[in-house]
Structure 1
Amino acid sequence: MQTSTFRKSHLATYQQHKNLDEGGPVIEISKTCRTTPVEDGIVRINCAPLLYKLGLIRFFKNTSLWFVKDICGIVCAIFTWLLIVYAESVVMFIMLIPSPYPAYSMSSAILFNFFSFMAVASHLRAMFSDPGAVPKGNATRENIMKMGLKEGQVVYKCPKCISIKPERAHHCSVCQRCIRKMDHHCPWVNNCVGENNQKYFVLFTMYICLMSIHAIYMAVQHFIICLGKDWKDCSGASAPATTVFLILLVFEGLLFGIFTAIMCGSQLSSICSDETV
């Protein structure tokens, strides 16, 4: 009896997730995922069928992925992943694995890889989450009448996406949508930073900043140790190559560490003051 009730509840959850927020024609691209064309700049992918088959649907509040079709944003997002891969490669293969200090190498590797994993996970959530898009074309007379407005109350309408514009919502020219509590459109995550994904963006900037600080510390320490040993048995590459790798890593760490620290600070400030930047 309990199994039957669980299955009915599970099927009901699946049916709820099967209906996409935006409606419209659904084009089946596989037996596991479906994609719904929202407009020219956005594609929404419904992963409810896949999660249902894997038995994981109850663990996901939102089963649809939001993807912005912007070439600049896609290039910046890929470049972000490549920078993380470069930092991982230098830290692991140039510094930690060849290190004669196993305890230091193990602890540093665990900490750095934790920051790296969390940064990538936060980046993906910020990139593929709906930032808080207002339904397109909902500024109809019927919908406005349903709002039960009082006399003299003003309703703002976006002339570009023909939607009822909530307070503090802004129209994004890249996403071609009005976004609730829109902060800015970030090419590094190829998405707007808004009401629904701001926390992931803050976490992404925080973990990148921590990665940068940790990488700079390890690079400087490794360089000093190698100089003291006259570059004998201290690196996974030759002295000139190691020097170049470390200089590039420190430059990357300083550049993106300062940038993400400023971004994270400004985001936290806007959250505390309940304002958008």
Structure 2
Amino acid sequence: MSRIRAVMVVATFVSIGCVDGPLPTEPASDLSPALTVVDASGPQGLEGFHFRGPISDEPVPTDGLDASLLDLLSVEICEWNGTECVLPLVREITADLNAPERIFVSDDGVYATVWSTRKDDLDPERIYRIRVLASGGLLGYVDVDVVEPGRNRRSSGGEDHVHLVAGQSLSIGFVIEEGTGERAGSDGGVVELAGGQITLDLPAGALQGDVLLTATPTDDVPTGGPPIVPGTAWDFGPDGIEFDHPVFMTIPFDPADVPSGVDPNELRIHKVVNGEFVQQNAGLVDLGNNTVSAQVDG
């Protein structure tokens, strides 16, 4: 699914763009004839997202947690073929009170659910992936190595992935730090992302409903085009987001990173669409604050 990617480019400097392909935080592995050698991944996620035990032994923060996102969250479990989820999903868990399994959140900001595998007929010769999403955008994931009951744990190509005995249950807990993303809705407003580095001014009606907006730095931009200012390329989530009205975006730059001989007044914000830079409009360069702004469509 496409996500918005923006970058700053010279007179064509890049800022946001829609790019097809896997998320930068969810690297694809090469497919192999034998699924048993598909590489498995340990816990991964956006900055500010943390799995808890038993999935991860890493310490997690206990302060500054965002407990307000329950209605936007889902946990998807799928067979992982090395590139993408195999459909249909094994399980999708949300906060639906009528579902047998659901996500809940504690008063101290810990999200949790339990995946009961008793009826899932998991295949020990395959890798499974647990994905945590907000508004359809990936927050974090971990791969699961299924072990047959009564047998020794087998290796499946990863040192830190989760081992699960088929038929047993797995507790899935995670926390989301404040500032990992910002909730926005149909009323619009000004949203600051990535610790205040990125600003989106959303008009009323730009979004049809509440979503968790995120901004993640990326180096994955087309080559051979106009000069790009390092550190100004960003992926915006959630995946597939579309704005019904143009959004005013502001991205910072470091003057020391502007290519030699380039006038900073010529910096522009671009979308990356199907591998091509698409300038949004003439924009606004603020040399006092070292930012570039533009009205972004779509």
**Do they superpose with TM above 0.5?**
no
Give the structure with the larger helix fraction.
1
For normalisation by structure 1, the TM-score amounts to 0.24
**Greater relative contact order (Cα 8 A, min sep 6): structure 1 or 2?**
2
Using the size of structure 2 for normalisation, the TM-score is 0.23
Question: Highest Rg: 1 or 2?
Answer: 1
